[in-house]
Structure 1
Amino acid sequence: MLLHLNDSSETEKREDDQDWFQGIDDRFKTKSAYIKYNCEMRIRGYMKEVRNYAQTIQTPKLKDRYMQTADYLMMQLKSDKFNGCYFDRTEEEQNRLCTKEGWFNCQGAFDQVKCEFHHSINPYGNRESRIIFSTWNLDHIIEKRRTVIPDLVGALKKPKRRDIDLDHFYKLLFTRENLKLVHIVCHKKGARDESKLYKRRKSK
Structure 2
Amino acid sequence: MTVSKGFKVTDADRKTRVGIAVKNLDELKKKTIDKFKLKFSPGQIDFQTTDGTIIESEEYFQTLPPQTLLIWVPAGEKAHTDAEILYKTIREVNEEYLNAGEKIQEFFTEKMKNKVYKLAEVLKGLDAEKTKLSAKADHPEWFEGLNTTAKTKEDYMFRRAQDRIRTYFYKTRDEIKNRREVPINAATYLFLELDAKLKLNKYHGCYFNRANSAGTDNMKSICDREGTFQCQGRWDKEQCLYSPRHSINPYVSRESRIIFQTWNLDHYKERSRSVIPAVCAALRTADFTVEDTEVDGWQVALSKKENTTHRNVFLDIKSIYNDLFTLNNLKFVHIVCHDKGAHYSAKAGPYLLQ
Does the alignment reach a TM-score above 0.5? yes
Match of 1:43 among 165, 173, 176: 165
Deviations 1:139-177 (A, max 9, x none): 000001111111111111113852111000000000000
Bigger radius of gyration: 2
Residue 111 (1) aligns with residue 223 (2): no
- Residues 8-157 of structure 1: pairs in structure 2 closer than 5 A: 8-59=130-181, 62-93=183-214, 94=216, 95-117=220-242, 118-157=245-284
Whole-angstrom CA distance in 1 between matches of 2:343 and 2:222 = 25
Whole-angstrom CA distance in 2 between matches of 1:181 and 1:14 = 26
What does residue 332 of structure 2 align with?
181
The percentage of aligned residue pairs carrying the same residue is: 39
Deviations 1:62-110 (A, max 9, x none): 1232122112111111110000101111114231111101000000010
Q: Which one has the bigger strand percentage?
A: 2
User: Tell me, which stretches of 5 or more residues in structure 2 are unaligned?
Assistant: 1-121, 289-301, 303-313
What displacement does 1:23 show? 1.8
Q: Structure 2: which amino acid aligns with 1:190?
A: G
Residue 191 (1) aligns with residue 342 (2): yes
Deviating 4+ runs (over 4 angstroms): none
- Larger RCO, structure (CA 8 Å, separation 6 or more): 1
Q: Structure 1: which amino acid aligns with 2:180?
A: Q
Q: Are the aligned partners of 1:50 and 1:70 in contact in 2 as well (CA < 8 Å)?
A: no
User: Tell me, which stretches of 5 or more residues in structure 1 are unaligned?
Assistant: none
How many residues align? The count is: 198
Superposed CA RMSD: 1.9
Whole-angstrom CA distance in 1 between matches of 2:125 and 2:277 = 46
Which has the higher mean CA deviation after the structures are superposed, 113-122 or 67-76?
67-76
Q: Which one has the bigger helix percentage?
A: 1
Q: Structure 2: which amino acid aligns with 1:74?
A: D
Q: Structure 2: which amino acid aligns with 1:68?
A: Y
Q: Structure 2: which amino acid aligns with 1:123?
A: P
